Amino acid sequence: MKKITSILFTCLLTWTIQSQSDYSTSLAGIEWVKIESKSSVSIKTHDKKEIRIVLNDPKPIPEKAKGLRLYGDAGEDNTTVGFNVTTSGNNLIVKHVRKSGEAIIFLPKSQNISVTNSWGGTTEITGFSGEVEANSNLNGALVLSNLTGAVTAYSLNHGIQVNFTEINQNSPIDIRTTNGEINVTLPEKTSANIVLSSWNGDIYSNFDIKTKEKDGLKSFSDRDINGIINGGGVNIKLKSTNGTIYLRKE
Amino acid sequence: MKHVTDSLTDYLDGLLNQEESAAIASHLKECSTCKQALAQLKELFGAFEQEDVLAPSKRVREHFLEALKSEQTTKVATTLENNINVLPKKSGVRILLKIAAGIALLFGAFMLGRNQNERQANQSLATQEYKMLEMQQTAMISLMGNQSPSKRIQGVNLITKFKNPDEEIINALVNRLFLDKNMNVRLTAVEALSMFAKSETVKLAFIKALATEKDPSIQIAIIQNLVRIQAQNAAEPMKYLLEQEDTQPFVKEEINRVLGEII
């Protein structure tokens, strides 16, 4: 009897912990999921049409906070996992209320995602085929991997690393930093029109970039390296003010 | 095979027969120019499917009508001149005169017909160009309002299709610079506007933006443009940036470097 009680107790405890560090809701009718955070967030795919937020390192809630609700400049925690989740039109707005603490967010593969990090930490986005918009407005790093959709990414002080497994020819890719480096890997056979430019940094690539002004490619600035790879195609622009740029083949 | 750009619209709409369609498909495999034209058309049509149709601005319409009118006047004048020149001035022989008159009449009629055709061709060319411009302007403005930042960038980049964009387009780009939430779109808008930095609207927008802008990449891009066009009144906002504590050191360095050039 003692054994059964202790097993039941363990189950109950696990369930309680689980319920406190795990949140999910349906994504029906949602076109864009917009995530705002001040710390590290990792965004991964799963095969359900819902968002699931899992705390990665749930710090113990202070004893004194029991029975109280977490509030922050991003709103109140309405998920029990430190996030504020609301809908606005066809957007799902997901705000990290805690100022620290990492989280993993699971979304369907084809989801359009917009992530803004306004403080620091690393934003990881892996495996998506929808459009990805990633902004790091202060000190955060952006690590985007195994993507196949359009990407726009901007980082102020940290670097951006992007790895594409396929390039969607319908929508341009635009990646920029002010002070960090840009490190982009494309499949070897990617056809694209490429613009590479860094005001104070150097540019490296192992692609055979053909620069031909005659082909109707127009440069906005004299500093741009403007060319085509594998016959030309969708526009891919990598630009930095002070950072180094690396464009490599897979 | 010659370029097939003229038939691409019909090709996309499925109006061609199997043979013609196959010929175009095989040409597209080899010709990058036509392939690019097809991609552009698809892009435009795609944009239309997604968006509500907007009417062209009044200015575009007026410009077009003026251009058409002047085109017609020039062609009519040339035709008359040609007819007068071919008539013989003096002749002693009646029969020769008759023949000459006959030839003149024939030639005149021929020239008239030819010019008529040319005029019609020119008109239809002008109409086509206008239609294309109209389509591109609509596509550009609607793409710039899209929810997807990548599509908005695509819209901003359509600026390369316009040699003399009208105020509506310039204002739409200025709005992207000031109001867009995405930094990539804003920076692309600065690049697009810098192609027309000499325009008073763009110059004023740049000076205004410099006074409020916090992002160093945008600050640098605007400073470079204002120096390039020698905007005298740009010195004030630049000096203001120099005094601000939160202006990044490399931006201050650049301002110090260029300030002498515009005063």
Domain residue extents for chain B: 5-50, 58-143, 148-262
Q: Do B148 and A135 touch (CB under 8 A)?
A: no
Residues A145-149 have a mean pLDDT of 95
Query: Number of helices and strands (H, E) in chain A?
Result: 1, 22
pLDDT value of position A26: 96
Q: Tokens 């021929």 identify what position?
A: B110
Q: How far, in Å, CA of A98 to CA of A65, rounded? A: 14
Asked if residue A49 is part of any domain, the answer here is yes
Selected residue of B150, B156, B182 to mutate for chain A interface (largest A Cβ count, 10 A): B150
Q: How does pLDDT run across A85-131, given as a tens digit for each residue?
A: 999 999 999 999 988 788 999 999 999 999 999 999 999 999 999 99
Residue A138 DSSP label:
S
Strand (E) or helix (H) holding A84:
strand A83-88
Average pLDDT, chain A: 88
Q: Do A133 and B157 touch (CB under 8 A)?
A: no
For chain A, the residues whose C-beta falls within 8 A of a C-beta of chain B are: 31-32, 112, 114, 131, 133, 135, 150-154, 156, 169-176, 178, 199-200, 215-216, 218, 220-221, 231-232, 235, 237, 239, 241-242
Q: Do B154 and A172 touch (CB under 8 A)?
A: yes
Q: How far, in Å, CA of A101 to CA of A57, rounded? A: 6
pLDDT value of position B57: 59
Q: Do A220 and B148 touch (CB under 8 A)?
A: no
Q: A97 and A85 in contact (C-beta within 8 Å)?
A: no
Q: Do B46 and A170 touch (CB under 8 A)?
A: yes
Q: A121 and A39 in contact (C-beta within 8 Å)?
A: yes
CATH number for the domain harbouring residue A217: 2.160.20
pLDDT value of position B75: 57
Q: Is B257 exposed, middle or buried (0-12, 13-18, 19+ CB in 10 A)?
A: exposed
pLDDT value of position A100: 79
Range with the largest mean pLDDT of A20-29, A172-181, A224-233, B28-37? A172-181
Q: Tell which wins on pLDDT, B124 or A136.
A: A136
Asked if residue A83 is part of any domain, the answer here is yes
Question: Which residues form the domain of A116?
Answer: 24-61+69-249
Q: How does pLDDT run across A60-84, given as a tens digit for each residue?
A: 677 888 888 889 888 899 998 889 9
pLDDT value of position B118: 74
Closest CA in chain A for residue B181: A135
Asked if residue A10 is part of any domain, the answer here is no
pLDDT value of position A9: 56
- Torsion sign, CA atoms B197, B203, B207, B210: negative
pLDDT in tens, chain B (263 residues): 667 777 777 777 777 778 888 888 888 888 777 777 777 777 766 665 555 444 555 666 667 667 767 766 665 555 544 554 444 444 455 676 677 777 777 777 777 777 777 777 777 778 888 888 888 888 899 999 999 999 999 999 999 888 888 889 999 999 999 999 999 999 999 999 999 988 899 999 999 999 889 899 999 999 989 998 888 788 888 999 999 988 989 899 999 988 888 76
Q: If DSSP codes are grouped into helix, strand and coil, which group holds residue B159?
A: helix
pLDDT value of position A220: 46
Q: Do A171 and B150 touch (CB under 8 A)?
A: yes
Asked if residue A12 is part of any domain, the answer here is no
- Does the pLDDT of residue A217 top 60, yes or no? no
Asked if residue A221 is part of any domain, the answer here is yes
Interface confidence (ipTM) of the complex: 0.85
pLDDT value of position B7: 77
Asked if residue A214 is part of any domain, the answer here is yes
Q: Do B215 and A235 touch (CB under 8 A)?
A: no
- Torsion sign, CA atoms B121, B127, B132, B133: positive
The number of folded domains in chain A is 1
Q: Tokens 């918009």 identify what position?
A: A133
- Does the pLDDT of residue A11 top 90, yes or no? no
Selecting from A114, A135, A171 the residue whose C-beta is nearest the C-beta of B183 gives: A135
Q: How does pLDDT run across A161-177, given as a tens digit for each residue?
A: 999 999 999 999 999 99
Contacts of A31 in chain B (CB under 8 A): 147
Q: Do A176 and B36 touch (CB under 8 A)?
A: no
pLDDT value of position A19: 45
Asked if residue A198 is part of any domain, the answer here is yes
Distance from CA of B188 to the nearest CA of A (A): 9
Provide the β-strand partners of residue A195. A226, A237
Which of these, B68, B58, B67, lies nearest to B167 by C-alpha position? B58
Q: Tell which wins on pLDDT, B34 or A139.
A: A139
Q: Give the confidence band of A8 by pLDDT, cuts at 50, 70, 90.
A: low
Taking every pair of C-alpha atoms in chain B, what is the biggest distance, in angstroms? 97
